[in-house]
């Protein structure tokens, strides 16, 4: 079904730039880049999927059943995304907040052309109808100069004016309302988000992604295109991975800023590690993930491999836990995702109550934000990130958006939660405000 060719690369970083630039000719693009971040679980340093042979696009009604059928029929690599509002397909929920971005709730495609980079080797995997173009495509990619890339990713757009969907005072009032729910016992924790946006604005998506990735260099960076819809993501978080019968979830809860001073930076790590609020946030979500995984796990297989471990990224320190399970071969890969979606780190506990309260308090539909981008392999393995630290762009609507949030618990204070939002928003704001 696919033809395979491999090449040894002399300059991997340069080839990655060339490859992503070359990909811009296609309407469907998924680029996943680990930025060589050392991690226990991972298959590739970077992956590019382009040029849809088949695809599926749907709203939230019966979305997982349709995806399950599509994944089974193709029995091939498929790449795409799940929006947060697929919660309405997994539970009796609805999304009534205004949608400003107009992305479909679910989109996956079977690429004609695939590139896998690991170490200094690239492997090309082409469907048979495109195999005659493999050598030509590789030669085209390698012939692209840095000057060509730099000259063609400059923006002619006007300066972007970022606006807040809600003011700081309104944000604090909504956090107080969330705290009232917690004190009443309706929920223990919920992830509350706010949107920053620009209307009647444009960006050069590739240039914006390149600069965002340069600032953050995260392990789950994504450049996604579907026609005029773009996702430019610097996500540090994995949602869910399947390796054979093993399932891996790595929720993030707990954030601290970085410092250029080494001693102060180590102090910030220690403070985060020992912060009772941050640890309680993380442990609550770990319990939620354990419960979600148990719905498809073989008996006694759900384990916590890491609890509240600190990982450092370019912009922030994060507290991450790793929860694993085993599933029976009879369990569909899509059902493993269906029973854990949306991810606990972006909802709260109890999960359904948290999502109901989130819907009432947030002022815009989340859509792709706090959803997931990733892939299924022909064998049924998969790997999906969490869409955070991301810029969403609807080119046709001239609308740019980024959303940030944090976990609200009984120990939260509105002022500190707002400050954490600004830390998380820093890279996106810097990139957008300096883009023109």
CB 165 within 8 A of CB 194: yes
Average pLDDT, the chain: 95
Average pLDDT over residues 42-59: 96
Q: What's the pLDDT at 41?
A: 87
Q: What's the pLDDT at 435?
A: 67
For residue 73, the Cα-to-chain-centroid distance in whole angstroms is 26
Pairing of strands 28-33, 220-226: antiparallel
First to last CA, the chain: 45
Rounded-to-integer distance, Cα 233 and Cα 224, Å: 8
**For residues 403, 412, 315 and 39, what is the CA-based torsion angle, rounded to 10 degrees?**
-90
365-385 pLDDT, tens digit each? 999 999 999 999 999 999 999
For residue 421, the Cα-to-chain-centroid distance in whole angstroms is 17
Average pLDDT over residues 47-55: 98
Q: What's the pLDDT at 315?
A: 83
pLDDT category of residue 40 using cuts at 50, 70 and 90: confident
Rounded-to-integer distance, Cα 37 and Cα 2, Å: 29
Domains located in the chain, CATH noted: 2-150+161-433 (3.60.120.10)
Q: What's the pLDDT at 314?
A: 85
Q: What's the pLDDT at 220?
A: 96
**Alpha-carbon distances, residue 281 vs 225, 347, 409 (angstroms):** 34, 12, 7
65-99 pLDDT, tens digit each? 999 999 999 999 999 999 999 999 999 999 999 99
Task: Please name the residue that has the structure tokens 């807040």.
Answer: 164
Q: Provide the 8-state DSSP code for 24.
A: G
pLDDT at 43 over 80: yes
Average pLDDT over residues 352-358: 97
Is 69 known to be catalytic? no
Instruction: Please give the model's pTM, rounded to 2 decimal places.
Output: 0.96
294-343 pLDDT, tens digit each? 999 999 999 999 999 999 988 889 999 999 999 999 999 999 999 999 99
270-301 pLDDT, tens digit each? 999 999 989 998 999 999 999 999 999 999 99
Catalytic residue among 105, 237, 278, 417: 237
116: CB partners within 8 A, 6+ apart: 44, 46, 47, 122, 123, 125
Catalytic residue among 174, 253, 351, 365: 253
Residue 29, beta-bridge partner list:
50, 225
Q: What is the per-residue burial (b if ≥16 Cβ within 10 Å, else e) of 120-137?
A: eebebbbbeebbeebeeb
pLDDT at 436 over 70: no
pLDDT at 428 over 90: yes
Is 253 known to be catalytic? yes
pLDDT at 412 over 90: yes
């Amino acid at each position: 079904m696919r033809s395979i060719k491999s090449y040894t690369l002399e300059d991997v970083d340069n080839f990655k730039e060339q490859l992503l630039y070359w990909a811009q000719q296609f309407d469907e693009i998924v680029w996943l880049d680990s930025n060589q971040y050392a991690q226990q679980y991972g298959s590739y340093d970077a992956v590019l999927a382009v040029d849809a042979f088949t695809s599926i696009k749907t709203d939230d009604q019966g979305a997982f059943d349709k995806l399950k059928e599509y994944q089974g029929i193709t029995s091939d690599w498929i790449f795409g995304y799940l929006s947060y509002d697929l919660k309405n397909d997994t539970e009796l929920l609805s999304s009534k907040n205004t949608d400003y971005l107009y992305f479909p709730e679910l989109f996956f495609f079977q690429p004609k052309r695939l590139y896998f980079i690991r170490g200094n080797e690239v492997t090309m995997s082409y469907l048979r109808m495109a195999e005659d173009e493999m050598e030509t495509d590789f030669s085209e990619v390698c012939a692209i100069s840095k000057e060509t890339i730099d000259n063609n990713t400059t923006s002619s757009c006007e300066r972007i004016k970022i606006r807040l969907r809600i003011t700081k005072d309104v944000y604090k009032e909504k956090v107080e309302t969330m705290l009232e729910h917690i004190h009443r016992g309706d929920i223990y924790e919920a992830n509350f988000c706010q949107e920053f946006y620009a209307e009647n604005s444009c960006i050069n998506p590739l240039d914006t992604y390149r600069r965002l990735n340069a600032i953050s260099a995260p392990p789950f960076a994504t450049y996604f295109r579907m026609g005029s819809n773009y996702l430019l993501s610097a996500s540090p978080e994995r949602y869910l991975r399947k390796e054979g019968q093993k399932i891996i979830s790595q929720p993030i809860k707990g954030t601290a800023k970085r410092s250029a001073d080494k001693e102060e930076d180590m102090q910030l790590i220690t403070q985060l590690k020992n912060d009772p609020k941050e640890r309680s946030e993380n442990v609550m979500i770990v319990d939620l993930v354990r419960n979600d995984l148990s719905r498809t796990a073989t008996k006694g297989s759900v384990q916590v491999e890491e609890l509240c471990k600190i990982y450092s990224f370019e912009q922030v320190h994060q507290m991450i836990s790793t929860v694993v399970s085993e599933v029976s071969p009879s369990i569909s890969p899509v059902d493993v995702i269906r029973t854990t979606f949306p991810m606990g780190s972006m909802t709260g506990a109890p999960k359904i109550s948290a999502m109901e309260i989130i819907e009432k308090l947030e002022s815009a539909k989340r859509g792709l934000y706090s959803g997931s981008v990733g892939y299924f392999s022909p064998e049924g393995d998969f790997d999906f990130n969490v869409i955070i630290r991301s810029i969403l762009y609807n080119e046709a609507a001239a609308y740019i958006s980024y959303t940030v949030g944090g976990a609200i618990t009984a120990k939260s204070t509105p002022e500190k939660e707002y400050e954490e939002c600004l830390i998380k928003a820093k890279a996106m704001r810097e990139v957008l405000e300096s883009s023109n």
